[in-house]
Structure 1
Amino acid sequence: MGARALDILIALVSRPNETIGKKELLSLVWPDIAVEEYSLRFHMTNLRRALGDGKDGARYIATLAGRGYCFVAPVTRLCYEVDSPSVATDSSHANLPSRLAHMVGRDEDIQRISDHLITDRFVSIVGIGGVGKTTVAIAVGHHLIEAFKGAVLIVDLSVLSDPGLVATAIASMLGLSVQSENATPALIAYLRSKRMLLILDTCEHLVDAIAGLTSQIYAEAPSVYILATSREVLQVEGEHVYRLDTLSYPPEEAEIESTAAQDYPAPRLFIERAAASGAQMNLNDAEIAVVVRICRKLDGVALAIELAARRVEAYGLHQTENLLDRHLTLPLLGHRSTTPRQRTLQATLDWSYQLLSELERTVLRRLAVFVGHFTLNAALSVVTDIDIDQSQALGAIDSLVAKSMVATRPLGAMMRYRLLDTTRAYALNLATTGAEATELAARHAKYYQRWLEQSGSDWPTLSTGPEKSPYFAALNNTRSALEWCFGDQGSVRLGTKLAATAAPVFLTMSLLPECRRWSERAIAELDDTSRGGAEEMQLQASLGVASMHIDGPSEAALAALSRSLVIAEACGNVLGQVMMLWMLSLFFVRQAEFRTALDYAKRARAIAGTIDEPDATALAQSALGRALHFVGDYTDARPELEAALNHWSSTHRIFLGIDERILTGVVLMRTLWAQGFAAQAVERARQTISDAKLSSNPATLAVALSWVSGVLIWAGDLQSAEEHVDWLIPHAESHSLGPNVHVGRSYKGTLAINSGDPKAGVQTLQECLKHLHTHDKKLNMALGQRKVEFNISLAQGLIAIGRADEGLAIIDETISRIDENGELYLLPEALRMRGCALLALPERGVNQAEACFMQSLALSRRQGARAWELRTAIDLARLLVNCGRRADGRKLLQPILGQFTQSRETADQRTAAQLLAELDQD
C-alpha cells in the first residue's frame, strides 16, 4: 500500500471501534496541506484492497454515511520483550529526546531496524550525511522504549574529538565514577548486569575507538543492545548493518498525477516542510511536477530537501527551482572522492548559505564554535560584539532556525540550539580571519568559565539523565574550550582560569582523570606572575584530590594538597586554609595515620574559629570529629560530628567532589555505637544510607554501605548486615570500586565467623587481607582503615577453629600497629580479643587473660566506650565464674549492664542480661 494509505490505517487502528470524521482524517493524514475529499476516497479504496476487506466476509473498515470511517476488526496491542528477565533495568539515566511529531517515509525503516535490533542486538544505521540517521535512531528508541522499560540512553558523540573520551562520555552519562584514564573496564563492569538500549550517535569520526568499545560491550554485556549511527560501517563482530537510503521520489520517465506523486516520501516531505514555513502552494499537476524535479535534483537527501523547502515561502516554488539549478552547478568543496549525493548536499548548503544575508552568514559562522547544544545566552555572549548587537543577533538566530540552518530542542526547562553536524562542518570550513577565529574562541571559553562559576552549586544535585543532559552539553563545550586554550593558537592565561573553574566540576561529576589532566596542564603553564594565586590554589587542591582517588595516598597527591595549603596561608585565605587542612586530615585518615590526621584537624578548628564562616566551621568540625573518633576520644568527637552534620543537612554542599554529609554521618554512627547508643546508631545508619541513595555519586553509596555493615554486625543484626553486604558487593563491582568490593567480601568473612561457620570465614578474611600486601595503593587506602577491625574478626575465627596461637600472633601485631598510628578506637576490642586468645592457650594462664580484660575495661571507661566495656565485661565475668568467683562476676557485670537503660537492643546486651539471670539463680 502507499504511504498515505498506511497513514490512514495507523490513524484508524489507533482508535479502534471509534468513528473518525472525514475532516479529522484529512487533517491527520495531510497536515498543513489542503487536499480534496476524493484523495481520501482514493487511498481508502487502495487500503481496503490491500487489507482484503470484504473477501470471505472479512471486515476491517466501516463507512458511516455522513460521519466518517471506523476500524471494526479486533485490535491487539503488542510490544517487544527482551528475553532476559533476571537482568536489571535501570532507566534513571535514560535521556531519549522527543521524537519528531510527524516523520515522513521512515515507518518501514523504523520497523525493520527495530526487528533487527531485537534479533541481532547490534545494529549500525549507515548512510550519507543529512539522510536522517539520528532522527530514525531516536524514533527506533521510542518504538522500543517499553521493551526496555524506559532504559534507553543516547550518547551524542559528535561533540567529542578525543577518542580516549568515548568510554568516559558513556560512563559519566550513566552516573559512573571515572577513576582511571581507561574508563572501559568500569563501563563494561556496570553494563554487564544491565538491560538497556544504548544509542551511539555520529560515530564516523571516532570509528576505531567506537568499534573496539562496542565489540567489548557486545561480547561482555549480553543484555545491552547497541544502535549506532555512522557514515561508515564499524566492521566489528556482531554488527548488523542497516543502510538508510534517501527518500524515494517518482522516476523521471513516469507520468504520475499530483495526488499519486505525494505518496512518495521525498515530495511529501518537501510539501510538508514548505507548508510548515508558511508557503502557499496550489499543488496542481504543474506545481507537483516542480516539487518532484527538485527532489530528484537533491537525490532525496532529507536535509537538502528541508533546506530547499524552507526557501519556497520567500522565493516561490519556481524561483526556488531556478536558484537551485544555478547553485548545484557551482564548483564543490571537498574531495574528488565525495559521492554524488554528498556533493549534492554540499551544493545545497552552498546554495542555502548564498541566500543568507551577510548578518546571517556572520552569525552562522560564529555559532560553529559551539559543539553540541548551546543556550540562547551562550549564543548571544559569543555572537555579539561592536558590529552585531543583541537585537540583531536574536533576529539572525530566529531566521536561521526558520531556514533550518540551526536546529532547536528543549532540554529541561530551556530551549537549546545546535547546528546539525553537516551544517557545522560546512560553517567551520568557511573562510574566517585568524583574528576573528581567535576572538570567537576566547569569548566561547570566557562564557563557559562564567557559566561554570554560576552553576557550580547545581552539579551535586543532578541525579537523573534528563537533569544531567543540559550540563553535559556545557561540559562538552568546556572540553572544546580547554583544547583551544592550550593549543597552538590558544590563550594559556584564559585556559588556566577555565581549568581552575572546571576542575571542581570534574571532581563532582567523578571525572577524575580529566580533572587531573587539565589541572596538571594548567599548573605546568603557570608563569611567575600567576603562581601562588587563587587559581593555582584551586588547581593544586583538585589535582591532589583526583590523584588521591586514582592512585591512593601518593606522594604526588600529598605534595599538591600541601602546596595548595601554602598558597592559602600566603594569601590569607582562611576558608581555603580550612579546606586544605580538612582535606589533609582526611588524607591521613585514609592512610591510617590518625595522630597526624588529628593534628591537621586541630589546626583547621583553630583557624575556622577566627572567622564567621559556617562552611569553614563545619568542615573543621567534620575533620576534628572524625580524627577524634579514630583516636578513641568519643566524648569530644560526638558534639563536633553532630554540629557538622546539622550544618550539612541544612546546607548540602560538595567540597572538592566529597559529600561530607555522608562521611560525617558514618563516623557519627560508629561513635554512637561505641558510646552505647545502639538504637540511635542504627537510626543514623538508616538515614545515612537513605541520603547516600539520593546522591548521584556511586562511590558515596558504596562508602555508606561499607561502614554501615560493620555497625550492624556489632549490634548482632546479622541478617540486616548480610543484606547490606549483598547490596554493597554487586554495587561496587558494577561501578569498578574495587576497594569497596574487598571491604564487602571481608565483611562476608566476618559474618561467616559470627554465624557459626568460622572455618569459611577465616579463609575469606585471609584471602581479602592478603591483598594489603600487594602494590594496589587504592586497595591499601580502603582496607588500611579497616585492617584492625578485620584482624580482630580473623583472630576471633582462628580461636574458634582451634588455632589460637595464630590468632594471638595477629592480635599482637594489630596492637603494635595501633601503637604506631594511634588507631585507639578499637584498642579495647583488640585487648579483649587478646584475652580470649590467651584463655584458649592453657599454658599462658588465666592471669594474663584477666590482665588483658582489665586493660580493656579501663581504656573503655576512659574513652566513654560503653559498648566495648560491656563486651569485655561479659568475657571477664565468665572468666571469674569459671574461676569460682561468681559474686565478683555479678558485681562486675551488673552495674555495666545497668548503664543501658533502653530495651535490650543488641546481642551483647541480651547476652549480658542472660548471664546475669543465670548468676542470680544460684
Structure 2
Amino acid sequence: MVKKASEAKPNLLLRTARKERGWTQQQVADRIGAPQSLNVSRWESGTAFPSAYYVMQLCQLFGKSVRELGLIRDEAVLKSDSHPSPVPPLWTVPTFFTSLVGREQDVDDACELLRQSEMRLLTLVGTGGVGKTRLALQVAAEMRTSFADGVCFVHLASVSDPSFVVPTIAEALDIKQIGERPLFERVKLSLRDRRILLILDNFEQVAAAAPQVEELLASCPTLTIMVTSRAVLHLQAEQVFTVSPLALPPPEQLLKSETLASYAAVALFLQRAQSAMSTLRQTPANLHAIAEICRHLDGLPLAIELAAARVRLLPPQAFAARLKRGLPLLSVGARTLPERQQTLHHTLMWSYELLSSEEQHLFRRLSVFSGGWTLDAAETIWLVGQETKGPKLSALEGEAALQDKSLLQQVGQEGEEPRLQMLITVREYGLECLQASGEEDLIRRAHAEYYLALAEEAEPHLKEAENREWLARLERDQENLRTALEWSMTSEEAELVLRICGALWEFWSRRGKRSEGRYWLKAALGLPGAGAHHVARAKALYAAGYLAWHQNDLSEANLLLRESVALYRALEDDRGLARALGILGVIIQRQGYLAEGRSLVEESLTLHRKLGNNWELANLLQNLSYVAWWQGDLTRVAAFAEESLILARGVGDKSLIASALHSIGYVAWRQGDLVRAATLVEESLMLLRELDDKPGIAGSLDTRGSIALAQHDLEHARKCYHEGFALSRQLGDNIGWYPVGLARVAAAEGHFKRAVSLFALAETAYGITEIMSPDEHAAFERELAAIRSQLGEVVFAAAWAEGISMTAEQALTDPVPAT
C-alpha cells in the first residue's frame, strides 16, 4: 500500500546507508533484484514499505540490522507483551535462493486474501510450470508472522494415490502412526486449536482427496489451507486464485527495445540468463530476440528458465530462430497430450532434442527415480544392459551435463555425494520418452531391484546402535521405495513386493508409518502367486501381524501371525519362528488366553536364547512388559524390562534402552521409590531427546511429571505435562494423559473445579479411558468420585460441562481460578 506524501515519514537511515556507499537508487534496486528504482525511492521517502523478502535483501546488502536501516514497521509490535508458545511456531517451508520476478501484485493480492478472517481455503490454480509453487513459497514468507503456530509445507508432487495424502500431511507435521486411533483423527486433533497455514503443493494428481481437505477445515476452525493445483478443487470453502503466465510484450512492442525489459517475462529471462552467462548484454537485438523467445514460451516461468540456461550454447538470436522453426512441429505432437501438459511439453521436447543421444538416453533412464537419487543409484540404472561394452558417457559426466541444462536439480548432500532430482513436470516428460524407447520394463525392474537391495541392506542395521543413519537414508528414498512397490504390484511381481515389504516393516514401525506398511503388505499378500514364495510370505505375514498388533488390531494380528508361524514351522526356519511365536503369544495373552499365550512365548524365548537373537529377545521382553502393565503385574513389568535392558545395552539400540529404562522407572514410581524412578526416567529422556524420538519423549514426560507430582514438586510436574501436551498435540496421539496430569496438579493445589474441567477435557476430547489399563481406569474413577464428593454434584457437573468446551490452549494458559 502506498501512502500519501503528507502522511509519510522518510526513512533517513536507509537513505544514509545508501549514500555512504555512493550508490544510486537504481544500483540498490539492481543489487537486490527489485523491478525498478521507484521502489527504493518510495521506501526512502516513507510512502511505501518493503516486503519481508526485500527487507532481508536490504539487510544483507548493507550488512545492517532491520533497526539500523529503519525497517521496523511498528515498534509497538516489538514491545508488546505476549506469552510464549509452548513450542516454537512451525516453519517447514523450503528455502528459495532466487528472487521472484513479476509477481509482486500476485503476492500482495494473495496475502490480502489470506488476511481476511473468513478465508479458509485459497487455491492457486494455473498450468504446469506457471510458478504456483514459487508464488506459494513467497506468500508463505510474507505471511509467516500472521500465523501464530506457524506454516507447514506439504510436498504432494510425488504422491499419486489419494489415500496417501493424509499420511503425507501427517509426516510433514511430524505426527506418527501410534496406537489404534486413525491417523486422520490424529491429524485433526493436532490441528484443531492451532493457528497454522497448511500449504498443499501439487494437488492435481490427488484431487480425489479434496473431501478430506474440507473435512479437515470443518474439524479445525483456526486452520487455513493454501493449495497449489492445476485444477480447481470444487469445494464450498474454496477461493480460487488464478496464477497467470508472466506479462509479455504485445507484438507491436517487439521493436521498441527501450521498454521490453520492463515486462516480467523478459526480465526473468534476462536475470536467469545473466546468472548463467554474466557477459550477456542487453543490446536491442538481444532484447528483441529474448522477447520473441518469451512469447513463444507463453510467459511460463519454468519454460523461460529452462530456455535461459541455453544462452551459453546459443545466443538469443540463434536461439529464437531455432525455436521459431521447431515449435510449430512440437505443437502438433503436443495436442495428443492432456491440456495441462501441452505448453510446457513444447519446451521440454525442445530441451530434450538439444541433448546428445547419450544424454537423452541417460535422461530417459533417470526419470524412473522419484524424489531424488544418489550417484550410485544413477550408475546402477545407467549400466543396465550396457555392462559388456559400457556407455561412452559416464553417469557422473551425464548428470553434470543435464544439471547444466537445467533438467536436473541438486536437492541435498548424501555423505560426500550430491543428491539430484528432476522437477515433476520434467520427470513426466522423461517417463514419456522412456516408455516410447521400449526400455521401460527393463529400467523399472532394475529400479525396483536396486531399492529392494537397499531395503535388505538397511534392515539388519536398523537394530544396531548406529541406526539413525540408515533410517534417514530410507526416509530420503521412501518415494523411490513406493515407486518400486507400485511397479512391482502392477506387474504382479509377487516375490519382489513381498521381499521389499518384509525388509521395510521395521522402518515403517519406527517412523510411525504403520498404516502405510499394512496397506502394502495386505496388497502384496493378496497378489496372484504370493503363496508360492513361502520364505518371503512367512516374513510378510509376520510383518503385517506385528504392525496390526501395534495398532491394537488384535484379531487381524492373530490371524496373520498364526499363518506365519505355520509357514515358519514347515520351512524349519527357527529364527523366523521365534519372532512370530513371541508376538503371537503376546497378543493371545492380551486377548485373555493366558495359558496358550504363555506357552507360545516360552517356546519363543527358548529359541531366541538358543540362537543368540539378543535384539529380538530384548524387543519381545519389552512387549511382554507391556502385557504385564495391562494386567497390573508390576513385578513382572520390572522383571521383563530389566532383562530387556541388559540385552538392549549389549546390542546398543538406544531406542530399546530408553524404552526399558522408562518401564523400570515407571515401576519404581508406582512402588514409591521416587529418587530411583526420577533417575531412570531422566536417563530415558536424555536418550530419547538425542534420538529426537518425539513419541518416546512425550511418554517419558508423562511418567516424569507423575514422579514430580508424587515428590510435591508441582512446578516441575506442570512443566513436564505442558511439554508433553505440546508434543502429543503435534503427534496427534495419546494427548489425554497430559490434561489428566495437569488435573492432578490442580487438585494437589486445591483447585478442584479446574481439575474436574481438565479431567473432562481428557475424557471427552481425547478419550483417555480407552487407552488406560484396567488399574489406571479404576484409579481415574476413584479420583473423580473423591472430587465429586468434595464439590457436590451441582458444582461438579458445571465444572465438567466447562471442561467439555475447554480448548487445549485454555488448558495450558488459563490462569488458575480461585477455589
Range into which the TM-score falls when normalised by the shorter chain: 0.7 to 0.9
Change (3 A) 1:404 1:467: farther
Bigger drift between 631-640 and 366-375 goes to: 631-640
Question: Are the equivalent residues in 1 in contact too, given 2:377–2:450 (CA < 8 A)?
Answer: yes
1:418 to partner: Cα distance: 2.3
Of 409, 412, 437, 1:410 maps to 412
1:449 to partner: Cα distance: 1.9
Question: Are the equivalent residues in 2 in contact too, given 1:96–1:152 (CA < 8 A)?
Answer: yes
1:427 to partner: Cα distance: 2.5
What is aligned with 2:774?
787
What is aligned with 2:512?
510
| SS of residue in 2 equivalent to 1:176 | coil
1:24 to partner: Cα distance: 12
Q: Deviations over 1:55-84 (max 9, x none)?
A: 9xxxxxxxxxxxx9x999972324999999
Measured in 1, the distance between the counterparts of 2:464 and 2:198 equals: 24
1:382 aligns with 2:381: yes
1:532 aligns with 2:534: yes
What is aligned with 1:239?
238
1:29 to partner: Cα distance: 1.7
Change (3 A) 1:358 1:744: same
Measured in 1, the distance between the counterparts of 2:279 and 2:452 equals: 46
Q: Normalising to structure 2: TM-score of the pair?
A: 0.77
Change (3 A) 1:214 1:526: closer
Change (3 A) 1:760 1:129: closer
1:110 aligns with 2:110: no
Change (3 A) 1:642 1:762: same
Measured in 2, the distance between the counterparts of 1:552 and 1:788 equals: 22
1:436 aligns with 2:439: yes
Q: Deviations over 1:230-271 (max 9, x none)?
A: 122223344333322222233322376645432322222222
Q: Which amino acid counterpart does residue 787 of structure 1 have in structure 2?
A: P
| SS of residue in 2 equivalent to 1:409 | strand
Of 669, 672, 675, 2:668 maps to 672
Q: Normalising to structure 1: TM-score of the pair?
A: 0.69
Change (3 A) 1:99 1:461: farther
Measured in 1, the distance between the counterparts of 2:40 and 2:27 equals: 17
Measured in 1, the distance between the counterparts of 2:757 and 2:152 equals: 42
Q: Deviations over 1:550-601 (max 9, x none)?
A: 34322x2123234434555555655544433443454356446666665455
Question: Are the equivalent residues in 2 in contact too, given 1:175–1:696 (CA < 8 A)?
Answer: no
Change (3 A) 1:741 1:300: closer
1:764 to partner: Cα distance: 11
1:101 aligns with 2:98: yes
| SS of residue in 1 equivalent to 2:186 | helix
Question: Are the equivalent residues in 2 in contact too, given 1:460–1:508 (CA < 8 A)?
Answer: no
Measured in 1, the distance between the counterparts of 2:578 and 2:610 equals: 11
| SS of residue in 1 equivalent to 2:157 | helix
Unaligned ranges ≥5, structure 2: 2-9, 48-61, 791-819
Measured in 1, the distance between the counterparts of 2:760 and 2:344 equals: 66
Q: Which amino acid counterpart does residue 134 of structure 1 have in structure 2?
A: T
Change (3 A) 1:627 1:265: closer
Change (3 A) 1:49 1:503: closer
What is aligned with 1:127?
126
1:543 to partner: Cα distance: 0.9
Q: Deviations over 1:504-527 (max 9, x none)?
A: 222222222221121122223374
Measured in 2, the distance between the counterparts of 1:84 and 1:118 equals: 22
Q: Which amino acid counterpart does residue 544 of structure 1 have in structure 2?
A: G
Change (3 A) 1:94 1:480: farther
Measured in 2, the distance between the counterparts of 1:466 and 1:96 equals: 24
| SS of residue in 1 equivalent to 2:410 | strand
What is aligned with 1:77?
72
Taking the TM superposition and a 5 Å limit, the aligned residue runs for 1:711-730 are none
Measured in 2, the distance between the counterparts of 1:764 and 1:111 equals: 43
What is aligned with 2:809?
none
- % identical aligned pairs: 22
Q: Deviations over 1:722-763 (max 9, x none)?
A: 7766766776566454xx466677778988998989999999
Measured in 2, the distance between the counterparts of 1:801 and 1:291 equals: 79
What is aligned with 1:481?
484
Taking the TM superposition and a 5 Å limit, the aligned residue runs for 1:801-816 are none
| SS of residue in 1 equivalent to 2:20 | coil
Measured in 2, the distance between the counterparts of 1:454 and 1:94 equals: 34
1:193 aligns with 2:187: no
Taking the TM superposition and a 5 Å limit, the aligned residue runs for 1:698-847 are 699-701=695-697, 703-704=699-700, 735-737=731-733, 740=734, 782-783=771-772, 786-791=773-778, 794=781
1:424 aligns with 2:421: no
Q: Which amino acid counterpart does residue 75 of structure 1 have in structure 2?
A: G
| SS of residue in 2 equivalent to 1:432 | helix
1:681 aligns with 2:677: yes
1:485 to partner: Cα distance: 0.8
What is aligned with 1:902?
none
Measured in 2, the distance between the counterparts of 1:242 and 1:260 equals: 29
Measured in 2, the distance between the counterparts of 1:14 and 1:580 equals: 74
Measured in 2, the distance between the counterparts of 1:396 and 1:237 equals: 48
| SS of residue in 1 equivalent to 2:344 | helix
Measured in 2, the distance between the counterparts of 1:201 and 1:613 equals: 45
Question: Are the equivalent residues in 1 in contact too, given 2:464–2:652 (CA < 8 A)?
Answer: no
Change (3 A) 1:491 1:436: farther
Change (3 A) 1:787 1:529: closer
Bigger drift between 388-397 and 167-176 goes to: 388-397
Question: Are the equivalent residues in 2 in contact too, given 1:618–1:648 (CA < 8 A)?
Answer: yes
Question: Are the equivalent residues in 2 in contact too, given 1:246–1:301 (CA < 8 A)?
Answer: yes
What is aligned with 1:546?
547
Measured in 2, the distance between the counterparts of 1:589 and 1:493 equals: 33
Change (3 A) 1:743 1:29: closer
RMSD (Å), alpha carbons: 5.1
What is aligned with 1:313?
312
Question: Are the equivalent residues in 2 in contact too, given 1:152–1:196 (CA < 8 A)?
Answer: yes
The structure with more radius of gyration: 1
Measured in 2, the distance between the counterparts of 1:105 and 1:506 equals: 43
1:325 to partner: Cα distance: 0.9
What is aligned with 2:807?
none
Taking the TM superposition and a 5 Å limit, the aligned residue runs for 1:259-658 are 260-278=259-277, 280-330=279-329, 331-335=331-335, 343-387=342-386, 389=391, 391-410=393-412, 415-430=418-433, 432=435, 436-456=439-459, 472-487=475-490, 489-525=491-527, 527=529, 530-533=532-535, 535-554=536-555, 556-568=556-568, 575-588=575-588, 590-591=590-591, 598-619=598-619, 622=622, 638=638, 641-648=641-648, 653=653
1:438 to partner: Cα distance: 0.8
Change (3 A) 1:231 1:743: closer
1:139 to partner: Cα distance: 2.6
Question: Are the equivalent residues in 1 in contact too, given 2:538–2:567 (CA < 8 A)?
Answer: yes
1:437 to partner: Cα distance: 1.0
Q: Deviations over 1:590-623 (max 9, x none)?
A: 4466666654554444333324454245346546
Change (3 A) 1:793 1:255: closer
Measured in 1, the distance between the counterparts of 2:463 and 2:92 equals: 18
What is aligned with 1:875?
none
Change (3 A) 1:245 1:562: same
Measured in 2, the distance between the counterparts of 1:687 and 1:520 equals: 39
Measured in 2, the distance between the counterparts of 1:673 and 1:764 equals: 23
Measured in 2, the distance between the counterparts of 1:342 and 1:638 equals: 62
Measured in 2, the distance between the counterparts of 1:600 and 1:92 equals: 48
